[in-house]
A and B are shown apart, each in its own frame.
Chain A
């Protein structure tokens, strides 16, 4: 009975110790690439679909003609 209590407390100590192991965070060697598109909200793009179509159709000098 006493033996079991010892074992349990030992287990508890082991778990506690595991929780205290310092996690090493290494800084990446290469700079993190920041993607510009993170700032683009897709729901906004969906909302702007009509506008985009219209801009293309009315500015063929800037975007080329439709028969491509």
Chain B
């Protein structure tokens, strides 16, 4: 019984570790900033800061971290597909603009202008996206 305990503990720990990626959530601080219109998706495939928004150092760090990881992701896949990093990022931006900008969120369109996704105003897709 006492011998089986460490084994069971290791098993549980292992199961928790395995389960962790499935529980990976959007950073709640970033999620809140997106909902509040401080941070938004950009047509270049990265997150950006809305003009005039008061961005805390903490939030900036979190967003920068996401963008660094996105860039690493784009770079790796671009190399595998023999395309430029910008093209891989743009392809992801098309998907993000199509299905990852919630109503109420702000985003930066292809022309550099910030817009808001509302019930009456759908997300304006970048021109390079397949229709």
Chain A residues packing against B (C-beta within 8 Å)? 36-37, 39-42, 44-49, 51-53, 55-56, 59-66, 68
Contacts and interface: CB of A to CB of B under 8 A. Distances in A.
Nearest to B70: A62
Nearest to A56: B95
Given A37-B126, A68-B99, A68-B100, A60 B86 contact: no
Given A44-B87, A60-B24, A61-B25, 20 more contacts: A36-B86, A37-B110, A39-B87, A44-B83, A45-B90, A47-B83, A48-B81, A49-B94, A49-B130, A52-B88, A52-B92, A53-B95, A56-B99, A59-B69, A60-B26, A62-B66, A62-B70, A65-B25, A66-B99, A68-B101
Chain B: interface size category:
20 to 34
Interface in B80-127: 81, 83-84, 86-88, 90-92, 94-96, 99-102, 110, 126-127
17 contacts: A36-B86, A39-B87, A40-B87, A40-B90, A45-B91, A45-B94, A45-B128, A47-B83, A48-B88, A51-B88, A55-B77, A56-B96, A59-B73, A60-B26, A62-B73, A64-B31, A65-B25
Interface of B: 24-27, 31, 34, 44, 66, 69-70, 73, 77, 81, 83-84, 86-88, 90-92, 94-96, 99-102, 110, 126-130
A31 B102 CA distance: 36
A36 B128 CA distance: 11
